[in-house]
Amino acid sequence: MGEHGAPKRAKGANRESAPEPGRAPAPRPATGTAAKDTAKTGTEARGTAQAGAAKSGTARTGTAKTGAAKSGTARTGTAKAGAARTGTAKAGATASGKRRTAAADPSRTAGPEAHRAAKPESRLAMVRRARRINRELAEVYPYAHPELDFRNPFELLVATVLSAQTTDLRVNQTTPALFAKYPTPEDLAAAVPEEVEELIRPTGFFRAKTKSIMGLSAALRDDFGGEVPGRLEDLVKLPGVGRKTAFVVLGNAFGVPGITVDTHFMRLARRWKWTESDDPVKIEAEVATIFPKSEWTMLSHRVIFHGRRICHARKPACGACPITHLCPSYGEGETDPEKAAKLLKYEKGGFPGQRLNPPPDYPGRPAPPLGASG
């Protein structure tokens, strides 16, 4: 107790209640209902702040995601557009490269004239090419003719039979002596076989050939009055006479068009893709559909001339051929021009021809008689 009867306070309490000089008095804690209301208000404020922050964060996140999505879409679209432009540029570069390649190598865009077209040749294209070959051969060989010496149909018939399995040159060197001794069918039909054999021995297969030429001479004497008939069906009935021999006689002695399918004609018709057959009768029928009938005889001469002089069986002179631009088999032979020139025969190679008595317009030298040097 104090002096005046009042209870004494603790010193600490007096110090707490008395503020220090220059400081504001500390607020007193709320008590009771007021304290509760204040706490609630603080809690609600914090909740509102957190909700606002969450919404703001969500909004920012949504905005960011939307922006990122838009940005990604834009980048993707830009990339696709760029890829499309790149693809277009590549396609353009490829097309440009192809054009440059074609310009650098014209043979890649050429047709049949570049020798071996990429796609199969149509029937129409083949016919056009074949007829162009015939026209150009006519310019190369304007003097094409039968290369057997003869003065009448009988001599041509006998000479053609003798030409089997030998050259026209050898026949031409043999027939002068034969026809000097047996000038008519009646003379030859009555000859001694051994004497005929001896005369035609240089042509080879002389026994079989003697039988043929004496047999056909007897048929001409007995059935046709000693005259060579001018019809195919009559000629092929004669001994030793087939379609090839008959067409030679008809075309060159009677002016009747015909296709002569000998070994040279067969070879070139296949090389030029006019036919795929190796049968002479089929080749004749197929080639006949390509050319007009008026061309058949001269076509035969031109093709045979070309086969004997340039387009040989074993080693064609491709490098010296004037129709390589029309030939689908170019390259089967020698393509070097200098080497090919050495393969040329007869007048094309500067040598004598096959006839001892060639036509006046023949540009080469006549063949030498049998036993004479060239």
Give the catalytic positions in this structure: 244, 262
Residue 77 CA to residue 84 CA, distance in Å, equals 10
- Which DSSP state fits 165? T
Cα–Cα dist 110/118, whole Å:
9
Look-up of token digits 């030859």: 188
Burial class of residue 185, CB neighbours in 10 A (0-12, 13-18, 19+): buried
Checking phi first, is residue 74 left (phi over 0); if not, alpha (psi -120 to 50) or beta? Answer: alpha
The one-character DSSP state at 21 is T
Distance from C-alpha of 347 to C-alpha of 199, rounded to nearest angstrom: 28
DSSP 351: -
Q: How far apart are CA 363 and CA 350, in angstroms?
A: 10
Least Cα distance to 217 among 228, 231, 202 occurs for 228
Q: What's 27's DSSP letter?
A: P
- What CA–CA distance (Å, rounded) separates 174 from 142? 27
Residues pairing with 352 in the sheet: 365
The span from the CA of 52 to the CA of 102, in Å, is 73
Give the number of other CB atoms < 10 A from CB of residue 364. 18
CA 360 to chain centre: 42
CA distance 151 to 159: 11
Residue 120: CB atoms within 10 A of its CB come to: 7
